[in-house]
Amino acid sequence: MSQLLNRVFVSILALPLVLGVVYLGGWALMGLALAAALIAVHEFAELVRPLRPLVLAAYLGAGAMVVAASVGGSRWLLGGLLATVLLTFVMQGLTGASQPATVSMGATLLGAAWIGLGLGHIVLIRDLEHGVLAVFTVLIAVFAADTFAFFAGRLVGRHRMAPVMSPRKTWEGFLFGTAAAVAVAFFAIYPDRDVFLTVWQSLVLGAVLALAGALGDLFESLIKRDMGAKDSGRLLGAHGGILDRVDAHLFAAPAAYYLIAAFGHA
């Protein structure tokens, strides 16, 4: 029960703060995204330490992608990713580490791209014409999906969704979480249905956010299981680390951005 209360308490404190920074946008959002990226990279590097990642390259790469998205948009974000590939190769050559280069560079690029692109797309969404509403919808829908999936899984969950990657996740929890995300997207966007997404588009967005968020959560769970870890860190108590809190958003934000773009609003 104490862990549950801790999760609720952290969420009550963190969500309004994050939403406030999103509302401000600009340098405030870039600063928050950059701080989250650097902490998440640190946690990832500790998680995959046996693979000997090039930590400095991962820090610089993920940070560069977030800053690039803030300053120059999607093209600069892609440039940051390509620069990370080059930087990783150069640093691998300079260090002369005994660890196989494929393993070391692969771990580095995985962490930098996963975190940098995910958080960078939150910045890209905020820069859209209806960016504040869009980011609010993404954040709250993913939070609702995660919360409803957690409680529904505990109360009525019977069928495991991915027993190898995350034994506690159930199909019942996923269905309740998806319903919550769809409801959030519908009610958040409905007042602007004539100028932003239509009703059916908002419903699709909610479903995509639920699916992408669940996949993002499972993606991190697979890495943690592979590395023999329960959480990415202890910074947020029962919530684990920053990476444990943003894992769903790292998949949901890019999915939302390109879906909104496909609907003609980017």
pTM beyond 0.75: the answer is yes
Neighbours of 7 (CB within 10 A): 18
Number of domains into which the chain is organized: 1
Domain span including residue 195: 2-262
Query: Kindly report the CA angle at 63 between 233 and 60, in degrees rounded to 5?
Result: 95
Q: What does the pLDDT read at residue 1?
A: 43
Q: What does the pLDDT read at residue 30?
A: 97
Per-residue pLDDT in tens (0 to 9) along the chain, 266 residues? 444 555 556 667 788 899 999 999 999 999 999 999 999 999 999 999 999 999 999 999 999 999 999 999 999 999 999 999 999 999 998 876 667 889 999 999 999 999 999 999 999 999 999 999 999 999 999 999 998 998 888 888 788 888 878 878 899 999 999 999 999 999 999 999 999 999 999 999 999 999 999 999 999 999 998 998 877 766 665 557 889 889 999 999 999 999 999 999 97
Q: What does the pLDDT read at residue 5?
A: 54
Q: What does the pLDDT read at residue 96?
A: 67
CA R_g for the chain? 18
Collapsing DSSP to helix, strand or coil, 266 comes out as: coil
Name residues whose C-beta falls within 8 Å of residue 83's C-beta, 6 or more positions apart in sequence.
61, 64
